[in-house]
Amino acid sequence: MEYRILGPLEAFDAERRLSLGGTKQRAVLALLLLHRNEALTRDVMVDELWGGQPPPTASKVLQNCISALRKELPGGTETLRTLGGAYELRLGPDELDRDRFERLLAEGRAALEAEDHAEASDLIRQALGLWRGSPLSEFTYEQFARDEIARLEELFVAAVEDRIEADLALGRHAELVPELESLVSRHPLRERLRGQLMLALYRSGRQAEALDTYRAARRTLAAELGIEPGRALHDLERAILAQDSALDTSPTAARGGDARPGRLAAAPLVGRDDELALLDAGLQDALAGRGRLFVVVGGPGTGKTSLGDELASRAKARGATILWGRGWHGGGAPPFWPWIQAFRDAGATLPEASTDDEAGKFRFFEAVTERVRAAAAEHPLLLVIDDLQAADTDSRLLIEFLASELPEMAVLVLALAREDTPGLDELARHATRTLRLELL
Ligand SMILES: Nc1ncnc2c1ncn2[C@@H]1O[C@H](COP(=O)(O)OP(=O)(O)OP(=O)(O)O)[C@@H](O)[C@H]1O
Ligand SMILES: [Mg+2]
């Protein structure tokens, strides 16, 4: 199946375009797509669809829409499942255009970071090519779609900026000028676009216009927001005035594949396709800002660490930062040892706080959570806590505490534990999924 929301709502089964019915039925599908692979209760759906003022017939209308969709969707009740009083639309990783967009964009950004500009430009161009107009355009004014539409529109412009950064590095400044001029007039407050236009003009031998662009930016920012241009734009103006040679970077040739980030897992994984598919879906959610906790439980040597390793290389290739801490069974480790190691991977230390009493511990947990939130705002994170059976109890409690804050963060937490880990049931209650591994 191919579902499309980056424009008007559409669904295709191979070449066949599905008939999606009237406005309400289309809204039901859109809502389920925005929460794909998640059980939505009927009450929540009615609330979302009728904005808190449902008519008495709402439940019936919803039920009719669900039945009609099931007739049309391949797989019927398998694809659109009933779970108690809830509905869930099952989707594979690449069936929704939004998910493909975010995956390609993350891969493009990872290539950009690795300075593989040709690859970055190509991947981000592919990602942007999936857009057919305003996302879910017919639902712009619907409560249930508003936040996601705003998020996607922001992501679109940021992706265009990333693509232009790659193109500038490839020496395409002359052809970028007209595009940047039109972008700046549509998004006059985005300083990154202004800076890119200044650089493209300067490199095209149009220094005076580059400086005019800075002055125009300054006027607009002062008039609209009462602020001065930010540091980056200001530094760029100074560099242009000084004809700084650092501005003339020659186009970098496309680098070979080995410049891509992403360590390969130590040895190829055999089997574990189902587990990887689940973790991969969780990773996609996390990259999109909907954090998740997954717990993997199994006896010694069942491949928990190997699975974590494989996920880490996938996450890294999509631009995530990997933080990895493990419990130490030998005794003598300080409290929160796995967390200390994980934070070290981020070049950070744990917050200073006394955890002697309950109140102190709570403050410490909150401070850690805020640091994770701040780090994830810069780069998505994969946080692996391995060998949990050998960690202190408070380290496990901290995972549970963080888990309750995760849904708003671009963080995937993976806890790897032997079966005899104390408190596993409690941890599992906080997890999106708990996977159990048997020896292969
Ligand atoms: N799916 C797999 N495919 C290939 N090799 C595997 C797989 N799972 C495990 N292995 C191999 O088995 C060994 C044990 O795996 P691993 O260390 O990941 O287990 P573990 O569950 O982390 O064990 P422990 O709980 O003792 O830490 C490793 O050498 C690993 O390479
Ligand atoms: Mg292990």
- Determine the topology of domain 273-437 in CATH: Rossmann fold (3.40.50)
280 pLDDT exceeds 90?
A: yes
Cα distances from 16 to residues 2, 19, 22, in angstroms, run 10, 9, 18
pLDDT the model gives residue 267: 59
In the CATH hierarchy, which fold is given to the domain comprising 97-247? Answer: 1.25.40
Tell whether ligand 1 has an atom less than 6 A from the beta carbon of residue 274.
no
Residue 326 CB–ligand 1 contact under 6 Å? no
Does the beta carbon of 334 sit less than 6 angstroms from any atom of ligand 1? no
Task: List the residue whose alpha carbon is closest to atom 14 of ligand 1.
Answer: 301
Domain boundaries, the chain: 2-89, 97-247, 273-437
Count other C-beta atoms under 10 Å from residue 225's C-beta. 9
The reported pLDDT for the residue numbered 250 is: 52
Q: Which atom of ligand 1 is nearest to the CA of 437?
A: 21
Residue type, 25: Q
Residue 290 pLDDT > 70: yes
Q: What's the 418 CA to ligand 2 centre distance in angstroms?
A: 9
* Mutation probe of ligand 1 site: the residue of 264, 273, 296, 305 with most atoms within 8 A of C-beta: 305
User: What phi and psi, each to the nearest 5 degrees, are found at residue 74?
Assistant: -60, 140
Amino acid at 70: R
Residue 246 binned pLDDT confidence (cut-offs 50, 70, 90): confident
The confidence band for 94, taking pLDDT boundaries of 50, 70 and 90, is confident
Q: If DSSP codes are grouped into helix, strand and coil, which group holds residue 160?
A: helix
Cα(first)–Cα(last) distance of the chain, in Å? 32
Q: Which CATH code is given to the segment(s) 2-89?
A: 1.10.10.10
Does 269 sit in the ligand 1 pocket, CB within 6 Å?
Answer: yes
Question: Mean pLDDT over residues 209-217, rounded?
Answer: 96
As a whole number of angstroms, the distance between CA 261 and CA 281 comes to 21
3-state secondary structure 288-317: CCCCEEEEEEECCCCCHHHHHHHHHHHHHH
Q: Whose CA is closest to 413, among 273, 312, 310, 266?
A: 312
This prediction has a pTM of 0.55
The predicted pLDDT at position 206 comes to: 94
- Summarised one tens digit per residue, pLDDT across range 151-194 is 999 999 999 999 999 999 999 999 999 999 999 999 999 999 99
> Is residue 306 in contact with ligand 1, taking CB distance under 6 Å?
yes
Q: At residue 358, what is the residue type? A: E
pLDDT tens per residue, range 427-439:
999 999 999 999 8
**What pLDDT digit, counting tens, does each position of 28-42 carry?**
999 999 999 999 999
pLDDT over 90 percentage in the chain: 80
| Residue 308 near ligand 1, beta carbon < 6 Å | no
138 C-alpha vs ligand 1 centroid, how far in Å? 49
Dist. CA 180–CA 195, nearest whole Å: 10
Residue 299 CA: which ligand is closest? 1
Q: What is the pLDDT at residue 438?
A: 93
